[in-house]
Amino acid sequence: DTEVTQTPKHLVMGMTNKKSLKCEQHMGHRAMYWYKQKAKKPPELMFVYSYEKLSINESVPSRFSPECPNSSLLNLHLHALQPEDSALYLCASSQENTPGYEQYFGPGTRLTVT
Amino acid sequence: QKEVEQDPGPLSVPEGAIVSLNCTYSNSAFQYFMWYRQYSRKGPELLMYTYSSGNKEDGRFTAQVDKSSKYISLFIRDSQPSDSATYLCAMNTDKLIFGTGTRLQVFP
């Protein structure tokens, strides 16, 4: 089973709202990732968690706040977003955050900021 | 120069055709190569994963890596309308580097 689940599937939020995206995997993977994907573009890495610790932040604005409560769960807290933050937000996981391990993606959360 | 170059397409072929999708890269340190398939408004699905040079076959799909030319390919035999999707190549160092994706349309 190589399933990564994400909730919600769709989210519409205003610029003053606070919301959270959730990601879960039960493959025993120790690395989890958040990506942002705009239309007709490849995914762009935002954050990497390795063994529940933040290991990479790709200079993401502070209105995006990741959290890894345990090895199976990854959250992305959203606050005071801008319309240009509207995108598909993808979660991925891999056995380790080292080259040689495949990353498996979830179905994504389609976010619209109004 | 981008680290990974991929023809964006779109590529339109009839059902049953052999499809060739390609990427070139500039970083000789890349050793792990992946192909993802992404249907519209869905997450990328890992199709093929190869290490270093050579071929790997899985059903109708064959991945080929030529490290000397810094060139990777994905061949799809007997293409089906259900293969219509965007195909992303990806390479791994400390993070996954994606190509821009090629849109493929297979028409009946």
From chain B, pick out residues whose CB is under 8 angstroms from the CB of A45.
95-96
Average pLDDT score, chain B: 93
pLDDT at A99: 84
Distance CA B12, CA B52 (A): 30
pLDDT at A2: 66
pLDDT at B94: 78
pLDDT at A13: 94
pLDDT digits (tens, 9 = 90+) for B2-31: 789 998 789 999 999 999 999 999 988 888
Q: Do A90 and B101 touch (CB under 8 A)?
A: no
Q: CA dihedral defined by B63, B6, B68, B94, rounded to 10 degrees?
A: -90
Average pLDDT score, chain A: 95
Distance CA A48, CA B24 (A): 26
Measuring CA to CA, how many Å separate B87 from each of A92, B18, B47, B54? 17, 15, 9, 20
**B47/A contact by beta carbon, under 8 A:** no
Binned at pLDDT 50, 70 and 90, residue B57 comes out as very high
**A88/B contact by beta carbon, under 8 A:** yes
Distance CA A41, CA A72 (A): 28
pLDDT at A1: 62
From chain B, pick out residues whose CB is under 8 angstroms from the CB of A99.
31-32, 92-94
Which residue(s) pair with A31 in the sheet? A50, A94
Per DSSP (E only), the strands in chain B are: 4-6, 11-14, 19-25, 32-38, 45-51, 54-58, 61-66, 71-76, 85-92, 96-98, 102-107
Binned at pLDDT 50, 70 and 90, residue B93 comes out as confident
Q: Do B31 and A99 touch (CB under 8 A)?
A: yes
Contact B37, B45 (CB under 8 A): yes
Q: Do A88 and B51 touch (CB under 8 A)?
A: no
Q: How many CB pairs under 8 A join A and B?
A: 49
Mean pLDDT of B38-64: 93
CB-based burial of residue B25 (10 Å sphere; 0-12 exposed, 13-18 middle, 19+ buried)? buried
Distance from CA of A15 to the nearest CA of B (A): 23
pLDDT at A54: 96
Nearest by CB to residue A43, choosing from B32, B49, B98, is B98
pLDDT digits (tens, 9 = 90+) for A5-32: 999 999 999 999 999 999 999 999 999 9
Mean pLDDT of A41-61: 95
